[in-house]
């Protein structure tokens, strides 16, 4: 086993981790051991070996596949044609009247990652608009600005398609690779829906997303249901019943009888911000939470903008298709802006009976609200009355430092970034499994 191979595999594992796969050191060692048993020149065999040892969930298979193709192709390309790349670099860059445009490195990367026909279209556009006109080098800066804006919008649209866990590391080589992998996944349509930004799910994919969401919720509810059933049957010995049951054995304790412990399932109270772009996220979160009804003792949902509105208490999992319409109705009735403080005040005043030591309050919001001070006070008061407040922040964590509400609210809740279904599932599994 050469040092080069070890470094290559460790590098690949690093890329997988950035893509959200949990790969431990022991799995890496397994992968290296396993590679010693197959033909390293057989690409398919190498791929299968790495998949067997590094991937432990079917859901991660497309991500692994894209990463493998990109990582090992990049290595091969670098090894085989480094001079070509250097030599042709000027020819592949976007240009005006033969002059290459001086784009920022990340935007250059976006351009390079486009399909060839898209690159050609952009180049053709520049050629046509600068042909026969009095366009000279003095206009290059303006053209760069225009093209940069276009590429930046494409980059933002692409980032919405993929989880922010693919975010930049600062290492241009790795970032370039992650970007290329994300692009490969999104273009192939293979990125599992569970890893897509919920806000980017369009109407054409909504039904599929709801189907995936229901499967995950059902699985989680089954696990919770089983967990509480088992916990209820365990494990303090009931001496009186045990003695009575073992009299036939001359008093020898052959069979133990256990006291049934009253394990009380938590109640969920969900407060979903439906202002502006939050509506889409909130709809999916509510659908997921309703899917958990089998695993918890009760679910109460509220939507809020300027004030709090209860989502129909009669709603059951079979009727969740109407949730989207209801949320839209709330926005129409109560406005597009957010006033969390006022909403929490209404919760405490009119629905205080829902708030107890068994209650988990889940807030779905990007923390952008009026009157942060007032909201913080109300949140503190709610947090004192319930088991825990879990805040699902739809803004990626690396942008939290720009949100003043985050620091204020975090003191009274557990705040987690949550903009994909996979994150929502993990958070709910952790929150409900831990009670």
Site residues (vs other proteins, CB under 8 A): 22, 24, 26-27, 30, 33-34, 37-38, 44-45, 48-49, 51-53, 55-58, 61, 219, 222-223, 226-227, 230, 249-250, 252, 254, 429
Nearer to other proteins, 231 or 333 (CB): 231
Under 8 Å between Cβ of 417 and 393: yes
Closest to other proteins by CB, 66 or 375:
66
Chain-centre distance for alpha carbon 101 = 36
Give least dist CB 34 to other proteins, A: 5
Ranges of beta strands (E only) in 78-225 are 95-96, 99-100
CB of residue 45 to other proteins, shortest distance in Å = 6
User: Which lies closer to other proteins via its Cβ, residue 338 or residue 420?
Assistant: 420
CA of 313: how far to CAs of 269, 300, 322, 360, in Å? 12, 7, 13, 17
Complex with other proteins: residue 147 or 292, whichever CB lies closer: 292
Least CB distance from residue 235 to other proteins, whole Å?
A: 10
Q: How far is the CB of 384 from other proteins (least distance, A)?
A: 32
For the packed helices 278-291 and 421-433, what is the interaxial angle rounded to 10 degrees? 50
What minimum distance in Å lies between the beta carbon of 358 and other proteins?
22
How many residues belong to the chain? 435
Residues 360 and 268 sit within 8 Å (Cβ to Cβ): yes
Which residue lies nearer to other proteins by CB, 217 or 363?
A: 217
Give just the sign of the alpha carbon dihedral 384, 388, 394, 397.
positive
- Min CB(227)–other proteins separation in Å: 7
Where does residue 7 rank: exposed (0-12), middle (13-18), buried (19+ CB within 10 A)? exposed
Choose between 343 and 425: whose C-beta lies nearer to other proteins: 425
Q: Rounded distance, CA 196 to CA 212, Å?
A: 12
- Give the nearest distance from C-beta 371 to other proteins in angstroms: 41
DSSP 191-226: S-GGGSBGGG--HHHHHHHHHHHHHHHHHHHHHHHH
CA 54/CA 64 separation, integer angstroms: 9
Identify any residues that bridge with 359 across adjacent strands, giving them in sequence order.
267
> What separation, in Å, do the N-terminal and C-terminal C-alpha atoms of the chain show?
47
Comparing CB distances to other proteins, the nearer of 177 and 212 is 212
CB of 48 to other proteins, least distance (A): 4
The answer to whether the CB of 396 falls within 8 A of the CB of 419 is: yes
Q: Which is nearer to other proteins, 21 or 180 (CB)?
A: 21
């Amino acid at each position: 086993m050469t040092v080069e191979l070890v470094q290559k595999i460790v590098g690949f594992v690093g890329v997988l981790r950035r893509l959200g796969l949990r790969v431990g050191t022991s799995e890496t060692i397994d992968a290296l051991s396993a590679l010693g048993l197959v033909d390293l020149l057989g690409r398919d065999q190498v791929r299968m070996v790495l998949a067997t040892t590094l991937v432990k969930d079917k859901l991660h298979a497309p991500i692994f596949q894209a990463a493998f193709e990109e990582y090992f192709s990049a290595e091969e390309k670098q090894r085989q044609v480094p001079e070509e790349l250097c030599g042709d670099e000027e020819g592949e860059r976007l240009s005006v009247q033969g002059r290459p445009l001086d784009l920022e490195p990340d935007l250059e990367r976006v351009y390079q990652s486009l399909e060839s026909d898209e690159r050609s279209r952009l180049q053709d556009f520049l050629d046509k608009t600068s042909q026969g006109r009095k366009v000279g080098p003095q206009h290059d800066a303006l053209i760069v600005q225009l093209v940069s804006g276009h590429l930046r919008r494409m980059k933002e649209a692409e980032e919405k398609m993929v989880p922010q866990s693919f975010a930049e590391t600062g290492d241009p080589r790795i970032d370039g690779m992650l970007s290329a992998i994300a692009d490969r996944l999104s273009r192939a349509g293979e990125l599992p829906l569970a890893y897509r930004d919920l806000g980017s799910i369009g109407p054409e994919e909504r039904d599929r997303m709801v189907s995936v969401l229901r499967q995950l919720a059902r699985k989680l509810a089954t696990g919770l249901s089983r967990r509480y059933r088992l916990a209820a049957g365990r494990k303090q010995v009931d001496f009186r019943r045990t003695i009575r049951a073992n009299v036939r054995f001359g008093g020898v304790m052959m069979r133990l009888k256990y006291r049934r412990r009253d394990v009380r399932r938590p109640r969920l109270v969900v407060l979903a911000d439906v202002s502006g772009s939050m509506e889409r996220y909130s709809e999916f979160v509510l659908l997921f939470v309703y899917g958990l009804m089998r695993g918890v003792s009760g679910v109460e949902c509220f939507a809020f903008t300027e004030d709090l509105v209860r989502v129909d208490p009669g709603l059951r999992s079979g009727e969740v298709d109407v949730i989207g319409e209801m949320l839209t109705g709330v926005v129409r009735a109560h406005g597009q802006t957010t006033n969390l403080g006022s909403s929490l005040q209404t919760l405490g005043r009119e629905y205080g009976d829902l708030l107890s030591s068994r209650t988990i309050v889940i807030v779905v919001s990007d923390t952008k609200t009026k009157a942060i001070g007032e909201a913080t006070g109300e949140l503190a008061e709610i947090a004192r009355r319930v088991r825990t407040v879990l805040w699902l922040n739809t803004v990626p964590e690396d942008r939290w430092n720009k949100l003043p509400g985050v620091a204020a609210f975090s003191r009274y809740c557990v705040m987690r970034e949550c903009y994909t279904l996979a994150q929502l599932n993990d958070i709910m599994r952790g929150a409900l499994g831990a009670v």
